[in-house]
Amino acid sequence: MPTFRISSPEDADAHAVLVDYFTLRAADFPGGNYTPTYPSAAAFRAPDGVFLLLEEEEAVVGCGGIRRVAMPDGEGDVFEIKHVFLRPETRGRGWGRLLLDELEARARALGAQALVLDTHHTLEAAGHLYRKSGFVEIPRYNDNPNATRWYRKDLEATRA
Q: How many CA atoms lie within 13 A of 1 on its CB side?
A: 3
- Per-residue pLDDT of 1-49, as tens digits, reads 899 999 999 999 999 999 999 999 999 898 888 988 999 999 999 999 9
Residue 12 CA to residue 7 CA, distance in Å, equals: 10
Confirm whether pTM is higher than 0.95: no
> CATH class for domain 3-158?
alpha beta
3-class SS of residue 96: helix
Domain range annotation of the chain? 3-158
Cα(141)–Cα(149) distance, integer angstroms: 10
Segment 49-98, tens digit of pLDDT: 999 999 999 899 999 999 999 998 988 899 999 999 999 999 999 999 99
Closest CA to 2 of 72, 78, 54: 54
